[in-house]
Amino acid sequence: MTRSIGRFVWVIAEGYIPAESHGPPGPMTSHETACLLNTGEAPAHVRITIFYADREPTPPYEVVVPPRRTLHLRFNDLSDPAPIRRDTDYSSVIESDVPIVVQHTRLDTRQAAEALLSTVAYSQ
Amino acid sequence: MTRSIGRFVWVIAEGYIPAESHGPPGPMTSHETACLLNTGEAPAHVRITIFYADREPTPPYEVVVPPRRTLHLRFNDLSDPAPIRRDTDYSSVIESDVPIVVQHTRLDTRQAAEALLSTVAYSQ
Amino acid sequence: MTRSIGRFVWVIAEGYIPAESHGPPGPMTSHETACLLNTGEAPAHVRITIFYADREPTPPYEVVVPPRRTLHLRFNDLSDPAPIRRDTDYSSVIESDVPIVVQHTRLDTRQAAEALLSTVAYSQ
Amino acid sequence: MTRSIGRFVWVIAEGYIPAESHGPPGPMTSHETACLLNTGEAPAHVRITIFYADREPTPPYEVVVPPRRTLHLRFNDLSDPAPIRRDTDYSSVIESDVPIVVQHTRLDTRQAAEALLSTVAYSQ
C-alpha cells in the first residue's frame, strides 16, 4: 500500500462544537473531528480554513499528516491562530499538498447519552 | 481562499422535522438544517424547493449566503411562502447561482437523549 | 422545477431492521428507510432487490414514486414477495426507470433513547 | 441482477472501536462495521489495510464476499494478523478484485443509550 489515495481539497460544511458535555472528560467531551488519512509516501501538509456566519474566515491552521498515517484531528484542539468558538456555527475547507481522504464526525454529549454523526467530506 | 468551491444543484432526499422535543428550547429543539458554505467572492442567491409525498412542491424559499460565509439554515425557520409542516416527510432541492457546498443534519430530541444524523447532500 | 435530477441505480450496503423498539409504535418503531425523490415529470418505477449474507437475493420489490413527489419508504413495510427479516444483515440495490435521488436512514430505538444514522446512497 | 456494481478501492478515514459497552453483549457491543456488497457473479477477494496514527500500517486482512451476497464485517472480529486495538484511532483501505460497494457504521454504547453513525465510504 504505497499509493496515494484521495483528493487535494475537502469541505465540511457542518461545524459546531457544543460547549456542554456529560461523561468522562477527554473521550466523552463533545467534539468535532476531521479524520485525515495519508496513504502515500510523502508527508501531507494540510491547511484548514474556518468559515463563520458573521465574520471573515480565519487564516489557515496548519497540520502535518506523516506518510502512511491517520490523524483524527479534533477541531476542539486547534489553537493557532485562535481556538474555534464553542456553540458557534462554522464550516471548514481542508487543503493538502498530496492526496488525502477526509471524514467528518461529531460526538455530542450535551444530553445524558451520546449522539454521533459522520460523513465523508465533500471533495473536488 | 478566494476560490469558489462546490456545485450549483444539491438534493436532500430525507426531510422530517419532529414536532416533539426534550431539553432547552432553541439549541435542543428538534430540527433539520442545511449547512450552506459559500467560499467565493460573490453572494450566493439560493432557492430551496420542498417536495412532499402528497401534494405539489412549494414555490422556492429564497436565502442569501454572503461571500466567504457559512449559513446553517434551519428548515424549522423557513416561513415564506409557508412553514414546513412538522411530523411530515419531505425532500429539498437547493439551487444556487454560484458554487456552494451543502451538508444536511438533523438533531432529534423526541426521546430523552438526543440523536444526530448528517450527510453531505447529493450534488450534480 | 421540472427537471429530472439524480441517477438510475443506487446502492445501500448497510441494512438491518432491529426487532426491538422503545417508545410509541409507529414513529418510534425501529426502522430503516429509503428516501426516494422524483423531481421529474414522469412517474418513477422503482425496483428494490434485497441481498442477504446467506441466501440468494430476493425478486425485486416494486414501488412507484409519482412525478414531483418524495416517498420515504420504510423497508419494514415491504411485504411482496416477503417481509425483510428482522435482526438480519442485508443490502439493497434500487433501480429506477427515470432519475431519482436516494438517501438512507435508520431510526433505532432498541435502547431507551433513540439513535439515528443517515447517508446519501451510493450511485452509479 | 447479475451486474457488478461499485468500485475496486474504498477508504474509511474514521475508525475507533470503543472498549466499553452497555447492553446485551453481541448486538449491543460497541462496534465498527464495513458493509460490503458484491452484486456480481464472481467472489470478491477483499484486502483490508489498517492505518494507525503512530505506527506502520498492518499487513492486509483478507476476506471473501461470495457472489450476490452482503457481508457486514465487524472490525472487532478481525484477528489475523492481529486484532485492532480498542480505544485507538485508525483508518482503513479496502481493496477488492471485483467491484463492490462499501458503507461504514459504528454502534456506540459507551453511554446508557446507543449512538449510531454511518456513511458511504470514499471510493476512487
Which residue, D50, D108, D96, is CA-closest to D71? D96
Q: Is residue A1 part of a domain?
A: no
C-alpha to C-alpha distance for C87 and A47, rounded to whole angstroms: 44
CATH number at residue C62: 2.60.290.11
What is the rounded distance in angstroms from the CA atom of residue B30 to the CA atom of residue B25? 9
- D47 vs chain A: nearest CA distance in angstroms? 11
What pLDDT is attached to residue D2? 56
Whether A119 and A103 have beta carbons less than 8 Å apart is answered as yes
Per the CB < 8 A criterion, the answer to whether A100 and A35 are in contact is: no
Domain range enclosing B110? 7-123
What pLDDT, on the 0 to 100 scale, is given for residue D3?
82
Model pLDDT, residue B120 = 97
Name the pLDDT band for B86 (thresholds 50, 70, 90).
Answer: very high
Q: Is residue B1 part of a domain?
A: no
| Per-residue pLDDT band at A2 (split at 50, 70, 90) | low
Say whether pLDDT at C20 is over 60: yes
Domain assignment of residue A42, yes or no: yes
Question: For residue A63, which amino acid is it?
Answer: V
Locate the chain C residue with the closest alpha carbon to B22.
C113
Q: Give the mean model confidence (pLDDT) for residues C34-39.
A: 98
Q: What is the CA radius of gyration of chain D?
A: 15
Split at pLDDT 50, 70, 90, the class of C29 is: very high
Instruction: Check if the beta carbon of residue B90 is closer than 8 Å to that of residue B55.
Output: no
Which chains, if any, share at least 3 CB pairs under 8 A with chain D?
A, B, C
pLDDT at position C112 is 87
| C119 touches A at CB < 8 Å | yes
Question: Are the beta carbons of B35 and A54 separated by less than 8 Å?
Answer: no
The Cβ of residue B54 has, within 10 Å, a number of other Cβ atoms equal to: 9
A23, part of any domain: yes
Whole-number pLDDT of residue B121: 97
Nearest chain C CA: its distance from A80 CA (Å)? 33
Examine residue A2 and state whether it is found in any structural domain, yes or no.
Answer: no
Contact B113 A117 (CB under 8 A): no
Contact A93 B23 (CB under 8 A): no
A121 pLDDT above the threshold of 60: yes
Chains in touch with C (3+ beta-carbon pairs under 8 Å) read: A, B, D
In this complex, the residue of B101, B113, B114 whose CB is nearest that of residue A122 is B101
What distance in Å separates residue C31's CA from the closest CA in chain D?
13
What integer is the mean pLDDT of C65-80?
A: 97
Mean pLDDT value across chain B: 96
Percent of chain A at pLDDT exceeding 70: 98
Residue pair D15/D108 in contact (Cβ under 8 Å)? The answer is no
Q: Mean pLDDT across the stretch B90-115?
A: 96
Contact B28, B76 (CB under 8 A): no
Measured between alpha carbons, how far is C95 from D73 in angstroms, rounded to an integer? 25
Single-letter residue type at D106: R
- Residue range C77-98: mean pLDDT, rounded: 96
Q: Which of A39, A84, A21 is nearest to A57 (CA)?
A: A84
Residue keyed to cell 453511554: D111
- Rounded distance between C-alpha atoms, residue B13 and residue C36, angstroms: 6
Closest C-alpha among B119, D86, B68 to residue C12: B119
Concatenated DSSP letters for B18-41?
-S---SSTTTTS-EEEEEEEE-SS
| Tens-digit pLDDT profile for residues A78-90 | 999 899 999 999 9
Residue D39 located in a structural domain: yes
On whether residue D103 sits in a domain, the answer given is: yes
pLDDT digits (tens, 9 = 90+) for C54-64: 999 999 999 99
Min Cα distance C55 → chain B (Å) is 30
* Partner residue opposite B119 with nearest CB, options A15, A90, A119: A119
**Residue B2 predicted with pLDDT over 60:** no
Distance CA C32, CA C13 (A): 12
Picking from A115, A116, A119, the nearest residue to C119 by CB comes out as A119
Number of compact structural domains in chain D: 1
Assigned domain for C1 exists: no
Q: Residue B116 and residue A116: Cβ atoms within 8 Å? A: yes
Is the Cβ of B1 closer than 8 Å to some Cβ of chain A? yes
- pLDDT below 70 — which residues of chain D? 1-2
Q: Which of D68, D105, D114 sits opposite C110 (nearest CB)?
A: D114
Given CB atoms, is B90 within the 8 Å cutoff of chain C? yes
Q: Which positions in chain A touch D51 (Cβ < 8 Å)?
A: 37, 39, 68-70
Residue B54 C-alpha, separation from nearest chain A C-alpha, in angstroms: 30
CA distances from D71 to B113, C91, D31, D74 (A): 31, 9, 15, 9
Flag if C5 and B89 touch (Cβ within 8 Å): no
pTM of this prediction?
Answer: 0.97
pLDDT at B23 over 80: yes
CA distances from A78 to A95, A96, B106 (A): 16, 17, 26
Torsion of CA B73, B75, B80, B85, to 10 degrees: -170
* Nearest residue in C to B48, CA atom: C1
Using one digit for the tens of pLDDT, what is the confidence trace for B49-80? 999 999 999 999 999 999 999 999 999 999 99
**Subunit partners of chain B (3 or more CB pairs within 8 A):** A, C, D
Write the pLDDT tens digit of every residue in A23-72.
999 999 999 999 999 999 999 999 999 999 999 999 999 999 999 999 99
B and C: number of Cβ contacts within 8 A: 100
Q: In sequence order, what are the residues at sequence separation of 6 or more whose Cβ sits closer than 8 angstroms to the Cβ of residue C43?
A: C64, C65, C66, C67, C98
Instruction: Supply C26's cell numbers.
Output: 409507529
Q: What DSSP letter does each residue of D13-76 carry, written as one string? A: ------S---SSTTTTS-EEEEEEEE-SSS-EEEEEEEEESSSPPPPPEEEEE-TTEEEEEEGG
pLDDT higher than threshold 80 for residue C2: no
Label residue B112 by pLDDT band (50, 70, 90). confident
C113 interfaces chain A, CB cutoff of 8 Å: yes
Rounded mean pLDDT of chain C?
96
CA-based end-to-end distance of chain C = 23
C19–B contact, CB cutoff 8 A: no
